[in-house]
Structure 1
């Protein structure tokens, strides 16, 4: 049974609301003012709160603000009841996080309809969150074991062969095994680095001082950084001949290590999800909107639904298409752009390819170097 908290300093109204909702099958608890209502909400965790605005000691707005500031009660649906539903007051309530207004006087039918609508909306939100959580669990359960075990198995298997049978191996066999161990080690390093960068970027969101310090960083020879990293990624994938570079001399408002990470992730995705012989275009330049880095391919592309679900640990069609990584790449790129005051735009169509553009606002002086 759903529990409803009614906060109002009029005993008669509380009695009426209690009677109406109890007949409808709800459990009703009451508070005569905002201070007691906040305490009851923290103790009882109701499914919905009905609260009057004009009360002594602590009005409805202050009650709402106190509940929204507490993580334990912040998500409880909240309906403000008032006989003075003026536009300014309604706007103020919505800004504080109210879910609905119920003008006084109201009929039992109106009361029940408002409660049902809010509870139904809250249920829909919970179900959507649960679906996303289930998808996240599925993605992690598919990605993590594979991503950790695959390179580790390669390292351990070939290391054991080298340790036990080195005398019987030919030099070219030793070199081949060493190459597998090296590539597996790099894959593990990339996995760990991506995880650490993602965690670092999430923590930055709560530290304005660190964000400001990041935004003061500059890469004056950005063209050289982009070219070197893009060529390295394409070469490692055997796609060096497919790489097309269109780079201007600009200064990028981002530290070199983060710019290199952007290029690595975006170019890596482009070569991974497109076939050999198709172009992978990397552009760096300036236009009327500021400085941009753009990577374009003619690969498998993504649907609008897949684009909307991009996030950490989310991968698409993993059960039918081999992938490497935890799905952190695009999320890291987006967060890097955001913490540096910019943004990321992704345009894609299934079967036609993908174009990802990272933008930084404003303009920087050109690089007068190479």
Structure 2
């Protein structure tokens, strides 16, 4: 009976390729053959095999090119990859491992050696998947067990106003219905953002424990920090009705973080500034480039934060603790801090109560 495990063999030598496929078939694996690197990449993206055996020395697109192409795609980045080569020089081994190869076999190799390498990689991949699934199960259980009060608050508002509209529909005036509908919409948006934040923080914790995803995240960049920051702070200022309070001075630089994650960092910092400072007081935003680092600073003149509140943001929120310890803006800033650190940066907060709060985010400059 055919095993559901698919193994792709990328090999330009037809005799070697067919011999390996025959061996895989005898061991009840589902073998997929590709006679060159380009076809191998296409099959890998379409079929998502469980493991790839790939020759190094091939015309046009060699094995290194195949590996680099597949590692750059999220859906193929985690597939175990084993090089097959007639060259056993140390430089070749090092080059393959630096690109993310999982193993390296020298041709010709005995069937037992090939099968041992295959089973070793499959077993390792299964353990990784099992560990990741265990982490996800733990997160789900903890979130369900410790659902914070702040998530229930907007839900209660939605249910309460909806129930009132349902029972009193005939007696309500149009303006009363509109006011209740606005309250439901506001509570819904708040609930949606809170849920998204909790799911994002869970994903950040998983990324921090997965070296492949971590490397992938850190390889992405944004061409213009000035354009991204200006867009986000203007949107927030308009939403709070405080365009007149917004002051900014933005230096230009590429930055080593993907655009949507940079937007999230800026959103949480500027949201905190507007939320906890009175209308009519300035909110200042600056970006400065120092050597290989970009500094993003957001300053507001509001009620400030106590040392205890700052410490709470600084402590990583662990999902085996009660989630109500991190609520509202605390969760948003905890997310921003964790995201900055995942990208080899930092987030720090300094505050003088009733005078000033300053959030400083550092990130590596992009290329």
TM-score class normalised by the smaller sequence: 0.5 to 0.7
Task: State the shift of 1:100 in Å.
Answer: 1.7
Give the secondary structure class of the aligned counterpart of 1:255. strand
- Residue in 1 aligned with 2:234? none
Q: Match for residue 181 of structure 1?
A: none
Structure 1 position 199, deviation (Å): 11
Q: Deviations over 1:88-140 (max 9, x none)?
A: 33333233332221122322222111111111121122223323333444455
> Using a 3 Å threshold, how does the CA distance of structure 1 residues 315 and 217 change in structure 2: closer, same or farther?
farther
| Distance change (3 Å), C-alpha of 1:199 and 1:21 | closer
CA shift, 1:212, in A, is: 8.0
Matches within 5 A, 1:9-158: 9-139=12-142, 141=144, 143=147, 146-150=152-156, 152=158
Cα distance in structure 1, aligned partners of 2:96 and 2:110 = 22
Quote the offset at 1:254 in angstroms.
0.8
Secondary structure of 2:9's partner? strand
Larger gyration radius, structure 1 or structure 2: 1
1:332 counterpart = 2:347: no
CA distance in 2, matches of 1:255, 1:322: 25
Say whether the 8 Å CA contact 2:347–2:362 is kept in structure 1: no
| Counterpart in the other structure of 1:235 | none
Q: How far apart, in 2, do the equivalents of 1:256 and 1:326 lie?
A: 16
- Match for residue 225 of structure 2 among 196, 205, 210: 210
Deviation at 1:186, TM superposition (A): 11
Report the 3-state secondary structure (helix = DSSP H, G, I; strand = E; otherwise coil) of the residue aligned with 2:52: strand
> Residue 211 of structure 1: CA displacement?
6.4
Q: What is the 5 A alignment of 1:153-172?
A: none
- Return the offset for 1:315: 6.2
Name the SS for the 2:127 alignment partner: helix
Q: Map of 1:163-182 to 2, 5 A cutoff?
A: none
TM-score by length of 2: 0.53
Conserved? CA contact 1:7–1:37, under 8 Å? yes
SS in 2 for 1:254: strand
- Name the counterpart of 1:256: 299
Distance 2:329 2:341 in 1: 21
Answer yes or no: is the 8 Å Cα contact 1:217–1:253 preserved in 2: no
The answer to whether the Cα contact below 8 Å between 2:6 and 2:29 also exists between their aligned partners in 1 is yes
Contact 1:342 1:359 in 2 (8 A): no
Distance in 1 separating the partners of 2:132 and 2:200: 24
Structure 1 unmatched runs, 5+: 160-184, 219-224, 231-250, 268-279, 283-293, 346-357, 363-370
Partner of residue 11 from structure 2, selected from 8, 11, 15? 8
Q: Number of paired residues? A: 271
8 A contact 2:296–2:360 mirrored in 1:
no
Q: 1:52 Cα deviation (Å)?
A: 0.4
Question: Offset at 1:213?
Answer: 6.5
Task: Look up the SS of the partner of 2:60 in the other structure.
Answer: coil
Relative to structure 1, the CA distance from residue 41 to residue 121 in structure 2 (aligned partners, 3 Å threshold; closer, same or farther) is same
Native 8 Å contact 1:77 1:98 kept in 2:
yes
CA RMSD, Structure 1 to Structure 2 (Å): 5.5
C-alpha separation between the residues in 2 aligned to 1:97 and 1:340? 19
How far the C-alpha of 1:19 sits from its partner, in A, is 3.4
| Secondary structure at the counterpart of residue 152 of structure 2 | helix
Cα 1:331/1:91, change in 2 over 3 Å: farther
How far, CA to CA, are the matches of 1:133 and 1:109 in structure 2?
A: 36
Q: CA deviation at 1:330?
A: 5.3
